[in-house]
Amino acid sequence: MTQQITRPRPERTSHPVSHLPARGAAPEPRATAATEAQRQPCRTAVLTGDELVRRGLLDVLGTYPGIELVPGDQRPESLRRLAEARQVDVVVLDLPSAEDRSAGILEVRAVKLANPELTVVLLARELPDDDVLSAVSGGVDALVSRSSRVEDLLAVMHQVVAGEPALDRHFCSAVMRALRRQHTVHGASLTTREREVLSLVALGQRNNVVARTLFISESTVKFHLRNITDKLGATNRAEVVSIAVRLGLD
């Protein structure tokens, strides 16, 4: 059976033939701007550097009247421009590689701080559990695996169009595992990877050395450092090192 993705519509109420409210009844509320907005198609952009993926997503999403596809420059780095121009309601952002993922999550975090009303659906390969949690905490509203079925993608789109966050079945268990593995040390809840990065930084290693040691990119090191800084309540790298040494986290 074909599904349709539509924004919630207000329920209709019946009235007497005279169209006047019954005695003592509250007057019928007038349509508000929010109500009118709910009736509009959800403007959606697909941002991916993979032409085949882009065409497939456009074909699938374009068949549903509740979604209005926004044409134009479909590169992943267009996220900030689309958000600032208020051209879209939802962005499906494809980040296939680890390098794309780290930089993309950082970009989503920055864009969402300035444009919290924008909904971001992240399409990615199987993510490490900690990266799933980082994506969610960084502002991603929904996660869909690249190996998911079309039905899973549409189920997620139904939820985000209704204004609800969503995870497909591939990522639900990943979030649970990541939350369970987190451990609190002196009030600072750090992931295993964050502790590894912090240990090397506390030893005075530069980001490029940390990246080579842990076989990750410098962008990923910066991403973890930003999370560590927030969790420790620090304001800069020197303060992070100072707190780490004082609390024995190195």
Cβ distance 224 to 193 under 8 Å?
Answer: yes
Q: What is the CATH number of domain 37-177?
A: 3.40.50.2300
Neighbours of 245 (CB within 10 A): 11
Q: How far is residue 169's CA from residue 144's CA, in Å, rounded to a whole number? A: 8
Signed CA dihedral, 68, 172, 99, 221: sign only? positive
Residues of the chain with CATH 3.40.50.2300: 37-177
> What's the CA gap between 193 and 212, in Å, rounded?
14
Q: Could you tell me where in the chain the CATH 1.10.10.10 domains are found?
A: 182-247
Per residue of the chain (250 residues), what is the pLDDT tens digit?
A: 545 555 554 444 443 333 333 444 444 444 444 444 456 889 999 998 888 889 999 999 988 778 899 876 667 678 888 888 888 999 999 987 777 777 788 889 889 989 999 999 999 887 777 678 778 888 899 999 988 888 889 889 988 888 888 888 888 877 777 666 555 555 567 888 888 898 888 877 889 989 988 999 999 999 999 988 888 878 888 888 877 776 666 5
Query: Exposure pattern of 34-61 as b/e (b: 16+ CB <10 Å)?
Result: eeeebeebbbbbbbbeeeebbeebbeeb
Cα angle 236, 95, 211 (rounded to 5 degrees) comes to 40
The pTM score is 0.60
Class of 182-247 in CATH:
mainly alpha
